């Protein structure tokens, strides 16, 4: 087990996938490296500045800015992660509500009522797929099987809400026919309301992005901070300030890029929530429940 963990650690350390910040920021890192070399040449080789030059006072201001920047980055990453985690909790609730709804219906519906059982099995299993497609343009590109294609053909506007409306109407119809008792109707309504609560919570995250002005300001702050680094310290550290500036810029901008990606957790990107995988898991669970 220890060997496996070490192997897994080194695989993560040296692998580069499409969302890796090093690949995304590589052109910017080259630009920062060239800029740092230019500052080094200007101050050390051309102007012949030393540690006793007045420019050394710039690093005092730079240290104060580092504290302010760290607070901004902590707030930014925490806010983005809170949005990602809230999305995960909402989809966890969807998993539980789907199982509960299917288990209750499986117990209530008569075994010989194949039409109603198939109706609920397919509609409950299809809802997470509908929600995933509603939240992400990428998910809409995935193919559907023939049973779900028939259901989707009847959904025109707000697909998740229409699907829950269809389920609610079916439950109400069975109640009027006496196949679902009043007490059973009440506790089935809990899961139906839960589906809409999950949909509304996900839409709130999706439709309320972090203000652009805040994200733009932080990016500018990081760039200015990185540009000031070699100016402040090159007379003290020398040519080593070139790779150090690149590294600091990489770390700071990586935090911003990661925060920007996870603040909208429903786009099916590398670091987003695997909503389609969770939808398929719900589908398997619902299918298994109705076979019990």
| pLDDT for the residue numbered 57 | 63
pLDDT, one tens digit per residue, over 100-116 is 999 999 999 998 999 99
Is residue 158 domain-resident? yes
Find, among 280, 238, 179, 242, the residue nearest to 37 by Cα. Answer: 242
Is residue 79 domain-resident? no
Is residue 14 domain-resident? no
Is residue 71 domain-resident? no
| pLDDT for the residue numbered 214 | 84
Give every CB contact of residue 292 below 8 A, 6+ residues apart in sequence.
106
Q: Which helix (H) or strand (E) holds 153?
A: none
Is residue 1 domain-resident? no
In whole angstroms, give the CA distance from residue 22 to residue 4: 26
Is residue 238 domain-resident? no
Residue bearing tokens 């901008």: 253
Query: DSSP state, 50?
Result: -
* Phi-psi domain of 136 (left: phi exceeds 0; alpha: psi -120 through 50; beta: other): beta
Is residue 62 domain-resident? no
CA 1 → CA 4, 5, 6, 7, 8, distances in Å? Answer: 5, 6, 9, 10, 10
Provide the residue range defining the domain that includes 181. 96-208+274-289
Give the number of domains in the chain. Answer: 1
In whole angstroms, give the CA distance from residue 190 to residue 100: 10
Per-residue pLDDT tens, the chain, 292 aa: give them: 444 455 554 455 555 555 578 888 889 999 999 999 998 888 778 777 766 666 666 667 777 788 888 888 999 999 999 999 999 999 999 999 999 999 999 999 998 999 999 999 999 999 999 999 889 865 555 555 556 666 766 666 688 999 999 999 999 999 999 998 988 898 899 889 999 999 999 999 999 888 888 888 899 999 989 988 888 888 888 889 899 999 999 999 999 998 988 898 998 777 889 999 999 999 999 999 998 7
In whole angstroms, give the CA distance from residue 61 to residue 232: 9
| pLDDT for the residue numbered 244 | 92
Is residue 2 domain-resident? no
pLDDT, one tens digit per residue, over 143-179 is 555 566 667 666 666 889 999 999 999 999 999 999 9
Q: Give the torsion sign (CA, 37, 43, 46, 50).
A: negative
| pLDDT for the residue numbered 3 | 43
């Amino acid at each position: 087990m220890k060997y496996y963990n070490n192997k897994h650690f080194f695989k993560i350390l040296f692998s580069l996938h499409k969302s890796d910040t090093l690949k995304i920021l590589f052109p910017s890192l080259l630009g920062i490296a060239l800029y740092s070399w230019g500052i080094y040449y200007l101050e050390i080789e051309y102007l012949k500045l030393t540690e006793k030059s007045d420019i050394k006072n710039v690093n005092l201001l730079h240290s104060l800015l580092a504290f302010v920047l760290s607070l901004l980055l902590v707030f930014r990453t925490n806010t983005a992660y809170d949005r990602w985690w809230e999305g995960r909790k909402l989809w966890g609730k969807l998993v539980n509500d789907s199982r509960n709804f299917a288990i209750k219906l499986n117990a209530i519906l008569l075994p010989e009522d194949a039409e109603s059982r198939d109706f609920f099995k397919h509609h409950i299993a299809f809802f997470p797929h509908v929600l995933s497609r509603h939240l992400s343009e990428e998910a809409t590109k995935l193919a559907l099987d023939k049973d779900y294609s028939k259901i989707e053909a009847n959904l025109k506007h707000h697909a998740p809400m229409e699907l829950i409306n269809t389920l609610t109407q079916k439950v109400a119809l069975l109640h009027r026919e006496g196949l679902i008792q009043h007490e059973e109707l009440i506790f089935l309504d809990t899961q139906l309301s839960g589906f809409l609560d999950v949909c509304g919570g996900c839409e709130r995250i999706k439709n309320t992005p972090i203000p652009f002005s805040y994200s733009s300001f932080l990016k500018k702050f990081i760039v200015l901070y990185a540009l000031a680094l070699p100016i402040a310290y090159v007379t003290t550290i020398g040519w080593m300030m070139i790779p150090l500036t690149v590294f600091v810029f990489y770390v700071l901008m990586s935090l911003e890029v990661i925060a920007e990606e996870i603040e909208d957790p429903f786009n099916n990107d590398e670091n987003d929530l695997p909503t389609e995988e969770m939808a398929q898991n719900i589908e398997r669970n619902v299918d298994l429940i109705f076979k019990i």
